[in-house]
Structure 1
Amino acid sequence: MGTHLITGAGSGIGAVVAERLLARGEDVLLLARDARRAAELRERFQGAATLVGDLADPAKLSWAFGHQSLPVELDSLLHIAGVVELGNVGDLPVKAWQEQLNVNAVAPAEITRLLLPSLRQARGHVVFVNSGAGLYAHANWSAYAASKFAVRALADSLRAEEHGNGVRVTTVYPGRTATPMQEKVHRQEGRDYDPAQWIAPESVATAILTAIDLPRDAELTEITVRPGR
Structure 2
Amino acid sequence: MGTHLITGAGSGIGAAVAERLAERGEDLWLLARNAGRAAALRERFPAARTLIGDLADPAKLSWALGHQEQPVGLDSVLHIAGVVQLGEIGDLPVKAWHEQLNANLVAPAELTRLMLPSIRLNRGHVVFVNSGAGLNAHATWGAYAASKFGLRALADSLRLEEHGNGVRVTTVYPGRTATAMQVKVHQQEGKEYDPTRWIDPASVATAVITALDLPRDAEITDITVRPGH
Partner of 1:80: 80
What whole-Å deviation, never above 9, does each CA across 1:47-104 have from its counterpart, x for those lacking one?
Answer: 1110000000000000001101111110000000000000000110010000000000
Q: Distance in 2 between matches of 1:115 and 1:170?
A: 16
Partner of 1:168: 168
Letter in 1 for 2:112: T
Partner of 1:201: 201
Aligned to 1:163, the other structure's residue is in SS state helix
Partner of 1:41: 41
When normalised by structure 1's length, the TM-score is: 0.99
Q: Distance in 1 between matches of 2:84 and 2:90?
A: 17
Pairwise CA distance, 1:6: 0.3
Q: Distance in 2 between matches of 1:17 and 1:136?
A: 25
Partner of 1:159: 159
Deviates more, 1:32-41 or 1:77-86: 32-41
Q: Distance in 2 between matches of 1:24 and 1:158?
A: 28
Pairwise CA distance, 1:120: 0.1
Asked if residue 119 in structure 1 is aligned to residue 126 in structure 2, the reply is no
Letter in 1 for 2:2: G
Q: Distance in 2 between matches of 1:128 and 1:208?
A: 9
Partner of 1:218: 218
Letter in 2 for 1:123: R
Q: Distance in 2 between matches of 1:111 and 1:48?
A: 19
Partner of 1:133: 133
Partner of 1:147: 147
Asked if residue 69 in structure 1 is aligned to residue 69 in structure 2, the reply is yes
Letter in 2 for 1:140: T
When normalised by structure 2's length, the TM-score is: 0.99
Aligned to 1:191, the other structure's residue is in SS state coil
Q: Distance in 2 between matches of 1:59 and 1:142?
A: 24
Q: CA RMSD in A?
A: 0.4
Q: Distance in 1 between matches of 2:127 and 2:217?
A: 17
Asked if residue 105 in structure 1 is aligned to residue 105 in structure 2, the reply is yes
Aligned to 1:31, the other structure's residue is in SS state strand
Percent of aligned pairs with the same amino acid: 79
Moved segments of 4+, more than 3 Å: none
The unaligned stretches of length 5 or more in structure 1 are: none
Pairwise CA distance, 1:127: 0.2
Q: Distance in 2 between matches of 1:28 and 1:71?
A: 10
Q: Distance in 2 between matches of 1:69 and 1:160?
A: 30
Pairwise CA distance, 1:16: 0.7
Q: Distance in 1 between matches of 2:40 and 2:227?
A: 32
Q: Distance in 1 between matches of 2:43 and 2:91?
A: 40
The unaligned stretches of length 5 or more in structure 2 are: none
Q: Distance in 2 between matches of 1:199 and 1:6?
A: 20
The number of aligned residues is 229
